[in-house]
Structure 1
């Protein structure tokens, strides 16, 4: 992955975390790596444990950020979430959920980015 692309991803994750905090979520962990996949953000929304996938795009040439989450990617995220639950022994959560936050740059990075939070995305 190029340095520019990595910086874009980190920027998007920071914006996503800010949006989640503003919406009342608590951020429990970020960038948790497992063999299956990386969990971008693990958060709490009330009594629900939320695994948040962040997708950042510089434009829409290759489709929307939400369209980039394939069936295979969803499966990997589910596996990583299971690893997280087993490793952290996250008890007390009766529900878990997978959200997606899509960040799309506007006007080549000169405008306000578009941030879309898809609750219970899959």
Structure 2
């Protein structure tokens, strides 16, 4: 999610906040009709927060949280570099779990009051 100190490990409070926001996003998407396939798929190149299914589409979901929009919105933090890492992680997932389903990348941006902005098809390959 954010705030990695030296050594690349998240502080315990940051990790707990990230996990809580991912649960909020998962719950929201479930109420929108998506079903959970996997959580936190990790590989050397990156991580997919949530893998969900929306009818006949496999959805790779990036969950972003910002306490404040002072330095930009949560959605704005999914820049080209982050998109590349997500694409590589999704390719790894698909190697491990082949499918004939179409795929898309969504972003769930969560603000200070747990307000949710769901961006479907946030970017493409």
Give TM-score scaled by structure 1 length: 0.89
Structure 1: gaps spanning 5 or more residues: 107-112
The one-character-per-residue Cα deviations of 1:4-47 (angstroms, maximum 9, x if unpaired) are: 22122111101000011000001000011011101000000000
1:98 paired residue number: 105
Query: Aligned equivalents of 1:2 and 1:34: distance in 2?
Result: 20
Which has the higher relative contact order, 1 or 2, with Cα contacts under 8 A spaced 6 or more apart? 1
Residues 78-89 of structure 1: matches in 2 within 5 Å? 78-89=87-98
1:121 paired residue number: 122
| RMSD over aligned Cα atoms | 0.9
2:3 paired residue number: none
Aligned length: 114
- 1:29 matches 2:42: no
Greater helix proportion: 1
Residues 58-69 of structure 1: matches in 2 within 5 Å? 58-69=67-78
Give TM-score scaled by structure 2 length: 0.87
The one-character-per-residue Cα deviations of 1:58-85 (angstroms, maximum 9, x if unpaired) are: 1112210011111011011001101100
1:53 paired residue number: 62
Q: Which runs of 4+ in 1 moved over 3 A?
A: none
Query: Aligned equivalents of 1:71 and 1:92: distance in 2?
Result: 26
